[in-house]
Amino acid sequence: MRLHLTFRSLLHSLAVSFLLASVIPSASPAQQASQKPSEKPTAKPSSPTEKSENPYQIELLETRYRFEANGDSRKEVHTRVHINNELGVRQFARVNFDYNRSFQSIEIPLVHITHPGGGTADILPSAITDNPNPAVVNAPAYQDVRVKSVRILGLAPGDILEYRIITTTTHHPLAPDFWLDHSFDRSGIVSHEIFELDLPALPQLQIRINPSTPAHSQEKPSDGNSARSIYRWERATANTTEELPAPAKESGETAPDVAFSTAAWETLSVRLDEALLPDAKPLENVRTYQESVEELSRKRTVTPEIASKALELTKAAATSRGRLEAIYDFVSQKIRTIDLPLGATGFKARPAKEALATGYATQEDKFVLFAALATAVKLSAGAALTGYCDARGVPRSTVFKHLLISGRDGDTSFWLDPSLEVAPFGMISSLPHKCIFVLNRKFFAMNSTGHEWQPFERRLPSAAHQKVQVDAALANDGNLNAKVHYSMRGDNELLLRLTFHKSPKEKWKDLAQLLSLSDGFRGQVTSVTAADPYATKEPFTVEYEITQPKFVDWSKKPVHIPALLPQLGLPDLPAKPASGAALSPIELGTPLEVETHMTLHLPTGTTVAPPTGTSVVRDYATFASQYSAKGQTVSASRHINFLQRQVPADRAADYYAFLRAVQNDQAQGFTLDRASLTGPAAKPTASSVAAPPPTPKP
């Protein structure tokens, strides 16, 4: 969103730091064994030759996969790491490997340290632990999602750490299909990389290899088994300036160098929908027409517990939408979200009554519970995946990042995300959703493919707006005290709800401090309050108080101060395209109305020269500002309303004029002057400064 670009980027980094501080390495849901940061760390050096500046250098990264026709697989990773400094020691003090115990096992046959002087040490089995993923410690139903850790004792700069990890996958919930993607290191952190694939010769197997990174060899196994093929890549980057070509783009993101799959997109849609329908019989196992008709018409199981809960939740609702909202609020706020990556359980769903009884669920199981409750009151719900948008890519479930629920009230449909817990009804993440991948087992009976991919336009459940009220007082000594109040609906609302929801209250002052920095205040936040993130029926509000010593120096004549209002960060013009390329429209984002108001109380004897207001009107956005001074009170307001999602490329010059008008207005300030004080500096009192108006309670 374009409002406060700094504000939004700070909020994003804030959300990352607070929301991900306790996030564990993501568990791999695919048939492939997980590729962990510990196997291929992501630290990036300045250049491949500046190894001493990196915490570590991976001298060897050797990965070998073998897949079987039934979907089973074996992955072996052999890694040798040179530790350069104490930071590298800390990063490798514990090496973690995620897996799902229900269909995977991990062996660690080798963990070995070689010291610079020639001494060696082997890590004892007692240093290896196997525990539930931290996200599921209090969720017994998901404790097959685990982390095997190796504590590396005695590591020091200059040491060589070598380890070998074997991950075996058997009876994956989506077998016999399997898939994998892999990208080669381009950061220079890996000196020598070997990647090998041993694949069965299956007619449905699709494999795609980046033309810039062809396999160095392709052969049949030495045992003469012609039903298999072995692909091998080897790349050494040490002491060379060779650059590995950048891979192509896939769905707007960097495509993998190697990708393969035995599934088709339509098949994947059917199988994932079946996985989220407990008790469903796989359609591929149906043998008669009558069985297929019965199976395709199967409805979700509604147990007495589910029926009773659905009736309890919806008894006061008079409309279908009201019933959907009641079910959504319950699943969203009363069922705790277990924050595992999409597919960490292999898309093996729990029955709805179990999620209801335990009070917690993953995003997949929240859908199962929501759909069962909806079915109990004669409503329906569907699921779709987001995070990837290329029907031409190699089909694999691992490319998707999130699950959305669709609900319908007559002719109106809603997209819902109860896994966020504090999102208002109909509000989903502002991440790009150009298309969705619909899960529907009825595609099995259709005659054409491609219906699983559908265009998607995100709509907010209500008009987006943001109001900021600043009430401030400037003292005789030049110190500034201000109270800043936010009230919002829309993308920033959801971002703030999530951030305050996930952050402990003792960290709220830190959140407000970042907000103040983004709004141009350089003082110290002294207090902060926020609305209940679960109160989703009302706009989300945040209020903080801030003090800034020496905001002005009265010895200067005159004093210039800016309007104490947040900056309205409009998007810049897009970069000039390459020769012959089409101009891109200017993206304004979701329509949004922003109102900012400031009241500043000045010491007695201060004269003020306010700037001149501005008014600019376009069909895609409007902007207006007003500035005034009355006695010792200064007022300022800015109002911008984004009416359209984008500006056509051929109107770039017009948009540039609009942008410059807004920027010029925001660069204006007030000019203050006052007579020299005859006595010691004093803060304004009730007789000299009007009390700021009361701030509405959140």
Q: Between the CA of residue 164 and those of 167, 192, 421, 506, what are the distances in Å?
A: 10, 16, 40, 42
Structure tokens at 512: 């407000």
Burial letters 326-338, b for 16+ CB under 10 A, else e: bbbbbbbbebebb
Average pLDDT over residues 285-300: 82
Q: Per the structure block, which two tokens stand in for 374?
A: 């909806």
Instruction: State how far the Cα of 311 lies from the Cα of 513, in Å rounded to an integer.
Output: 45
Q: How confident is the model at residue 580 (pLDDT cuts 50, 70, 90)?
A: low
* DSSP secondary structure string for all residues of 247-277: PPEETTEEPPSEEEES--HHHHHHHHHHHTS
Nearest to 381 by CA among 310, 463, 481, 479: 310
Query: How many Å apart are CA 30 and CA 39, to the nearest integer?
Result: 17
Q: DSSP letter string over 48-66?
A: TT-GGGSSEEEEEEEEEEE
Q: Which helix (H) or strand (E) holds 508?
A: helix 508-518
- The CATH architecture that domain 31-262 belongs to is Sandwich (2.60)
Would you call 577 helix, strand, or coil by DSSP? coil
Check: CB of residue 383 under 8 Å from CB of residue 404: yes
Phi, psi at residue 595, to the nearest 5°? -125, 130
| Residue 411: per-residue pLDDT | 75
pLDDT at 451 over 50: yes
- b/e 68-78 (16+ beta carbons within 10 angstroms → b): beebbbbbbbb
Structure tokens at 482: 């201000």
Domain 268-455 in this protein, CATH class: alpha beta
Residue 88 DSSP SS3: helix
Mean per-residue pLDDT, 467-483: 94
Average pLDDT, the chain: 85
For 26, phi and psi rounded to 5 degrees?
Answer: -70, 135
Does residue 535 register a pLDDT over 60? yes
Rg (CA), the chain: 30
Q: What is the Cα 75 distance to its own chain's centre?
A: 29
Looking at residues 108-134, what average pLDDT do you find? 93
> How far is 565 from 362, CA to CA, in rounded Å?
41
d(CA 186, CA 184): 6
Segments making up each domain of the chain, as ranges: 31-262, 268-455, 464-570+589-674
Beta bridge mates, 72? none
Model pTM? 0.85
Contact 647, 588 (CB under 8 A): yes
Position 174 pLDDT exceeds 60: yes
Residue 295 · residue 349 · CB < 8 Å: no
Report the percentage of the chain scoring pLDDT > 90: 67
Residue 350: name the closest of 420, 416, 275, 403 by CA. Answer: 275
Q: Is residue 371 classed as helix, strand or coil in its secondary structure?
A: helix
Residue 6 binned pLDDT confidence (cut-offs 50, 70, 90): very low
pLDDT, residue 432, reads 64
Query: What are 139's two structure tokens?
Result: 């969720």
Residue with tokens 């008894």: 315
Residue 337 near residue 501 (C-beta atoms within 8 A): no
Using CA of residue 85, residue 86, residue 90, residue 95, what is the dihedral sign? positive
**pLDDT score of 298:** 84
Here the tokens at position 412 are 């109106």
Choice among 298-302, 377-381, 457-461 with the minimum mean pLDDT: 457-461
**β partners of residue 483:** 471, 545
Integer Cα distance of 3 and 328 in angstroms: 29
237 has pLDDT over 90? no
| Residue 134, φ and ψ in degrees, nearest 5 | -55, -30
* CA atoms in the 13 A half-sphere facing the CB of 536: 26
